[in-house]
Amino acid sequence: MQRIHFTPADFARVRLRTSAGPVVESAFAYGLLGRGVSAPFARWRSQVGERLTQWPLPLSGGSAAPGLDGLLDLIERSARSVSAEAPAARTAPGPLFHPAAGDLSLVWRAAVAPYWEQLLHYLEAECEARGRVLMAGGVELLLATLHSRITWRAPVLEIADGPDEDVSLDGRGLVLTPSVFLAQRPGRITRRRAENGPVVLAFAAPPDTHQAAGLWDEPDDSGQSLGALVGQTRAAALHALRSSCTTSQLADRLGISAAGASQHTAVLRRAGLITTRRIRNMVLHTLTPLGVALLKGMSPRPAAPAAVRAQGRRRPAGAVVRHRDPHPVVGLTARTTPAA
5 vs 55, higher pLDDT: 5
How far from 217 is each of 117, 195, 211, 234, 319, CA to CA, in Å?
Answer: 11, 41, 11, 23, 40
CA distance 23 to 97: 8
At residue 82, the 3 state secondary structure works out as helix
Give 114's DSSP letter.
G
pTM for the full model? 0.63
| 13-56 pLDDT tens trace | 999 998 888 888 888 888 888 777 888 998 898 888 888 766 65
CA-CA distance, 201 to 307, in Å (whole number)?
A: 61
SS3 call for 90: helix
Give pLDDT, residue 166: 92
Alpha carbon distance 283, 145 (integer Å): 34
Give start and end residues of each alpha helix (H) in 110-257: 116-144, 209-215, 222-230, 232-240, 247-254
Structure letter (DSSP) for residue 197? P
Q: Which amino acid is at 75?
A: I
177 pairs with which residues across the strands? 202
Of the listed ranges 25-39, 62-76, 190-204, the least confidently predicted one is 62-76
Q: What is the pLDDT of residues 223-237, one digit of tens each?
A: 455 655 667 778 888
User: What does the alpha-carbon distance between residue 131 and residue 177 come to, in Å, rounded to a whole number?
Assistant: 12
Could you tell me if 254 and 21 are in contact, meaning their C-beta atoms sit under 8 angstroms apart? yes
How confident is the model at residue 310, as a pLDDT? 44
Q: In the chain, what percentage of residues exceed pLDDT 90? A: 17
Whole-angstrom CA distances from 283 to 137, 249, 265, 278 are 32, 10, 11, 4
Query: What pLDDT, on a 0 to 100 scale, did the predictor assign at position 331?
Result: 28
pLDDT for the residue numbered 70: 72
| CA 274/CA 291 separation, integer angstroms | 6
- Counting Cβ atoms within 10 Å, is residue 166 exposed (0-12), middle (13-18) or buried (19+)? exposed
More confident position, 106 or 312: 106
